[in-house]
Amino acid sequence: MRSVKVKNYDEMSMEAAMIVFDKIVHSNRLVLGLATGSTPEKMYEYLSDMLNKNKVDLSHVTTVNLDEYVGLSPEDAQSYTHYMRRIFFDKVNIPLENTNVPNGVAEDLEAETKRFDEGIEKLGGVDLQILGIGRNAHIAFNEPGTSFDSNTHVVNLTESTIRDNARFFHSMEDVPTQAISLGLNTIMNAKEILLMASGNNKRQALLDSFHGEVTEDVPGSVLQRHHNVTVLTDIDGFN
């Protein structure tokens, strides 16, 4: 694990954008794993600006998103498909057919999880996976207790995750209770991982994940077993 200490959220976002930009411009073919939520928002803003100012062709880039809420259509303003289009895809010249987000309204959700894993395998795997981390150390929507051997699956969201995500909805009752998420095994198959963590409310999750016991009670701790992880953080006392 390589740790990069930054001053604040803005510097973390810029550093992450530079890492991703460098990967894009120096690759002939790139499979990029993308995250949603509040943590990567500024990174997408900086990355979009870099790509557009340098007129970078993105036809060689394919994206794979970590997760999607069950029950929200791609047109729903709170869906992660809509989020990705609003915050990144519609701002750059990536072909939409090169973007992949799980289908949260698939008739057969189990079949959708298998389809998604098979799609990643056909692409040759994810080259660079961007991650955030939850206060309970979840990565993607893999809550404490998720098997390290898990592939893409349907998850029941914990009350703490629902509560954390309620700020994006009108009320807590509007937050979906399930999501499709890449599993921990799927994430660990990425060739390189870039994890972003900002704010002292994530401090304990980060310490438990990288300096604690490797246990399924702390989903992020599985990253200790990965050969190429970079952590960008403004959190004091983590290295």
In a domain, 29, yes or no: yes
Given a cut of 90, whether residue 163 has pLDDT beyond it is: no
Q: Count of domains in the chain?
A: 1
Given a cut of 90, whether residue 169 has pLDDT beyond it is: no
In a domain, 101, yes or no: yes
List residues with catalytic annotation.
67, 136, 138, 143
Sequence-distant (6+) residues with CB within 8 A of 66 are 33, 34, 35, 36, 131, 140, 141, 181, 182, 187
In a domain, 239, yes or no: no
- What average pLDDT does this structure show over 11-35? 98
The predicted-structure confidence for 106-154, as pLDDT tens digits, reads as follows 999 999 999 999 999 999 999 999 999 999 999 999 999 999 999 999 9
The predicted-structure confidence for 193-227, as pLDDT tens digits, reads as follows 999 999 999 999 999 999 999 999 999 999 999 99
In a domain, 132, yes or no: yes
In a domain, 71, yes or no: yes
Interatomic CA distance for residues 166 and 160, integer angstroms: 10
Q: pLDDT category, 157, cuts 50, 70, 90? A: confident
In a domain, 238, yes or no: no
Region class of 220: left (phi > 0), else alpha (psi between -120 and 50), else beta: alpha
User: Residue 105's domain is classified under what CATH number?
Assistant: 3.40.50.1360
Pairing of strands 178-181, 153-156: antiparallel
Q: What are phi and psi of 126, to 5 degrees?
A: -85, 130
In a domain, 186, yes or no: yes
- Residue 99 bridge partners (DSSP): 63
Q: Token pair 């073919």 is at which residue?
A: 29
Q: pLDDT category, 238, cuts 50, 70, 90? A: confident
Q: pLDDT category, 81, cuts 50, 70, 90? A: very high
Q: What is the pLDDT of residue 26?
A: 97
Q: What is the pTM of this model?
A: 0.94
Interatomic CA distance for residues 207 and 105, integer angstroms: 36
The answer to whether 89 touches 99, Cβ cutoff 8 Å, is yes
Q: What are phi and psi of 166, to 5 degrees?
A: -65, -25
> Which strands, in side-by-side order, build the sheet including 67-69?
67-69, 178-181, 153-156
The domain containing residue 17 runs over which residues?
Answer: 2-233
The predicted-structure confidence for 36-67, as pLDDT tens digits, reads as follows 989 999 999 999 999 999 999 999 999 999 99
The one-character DSSP state at 147 is: -
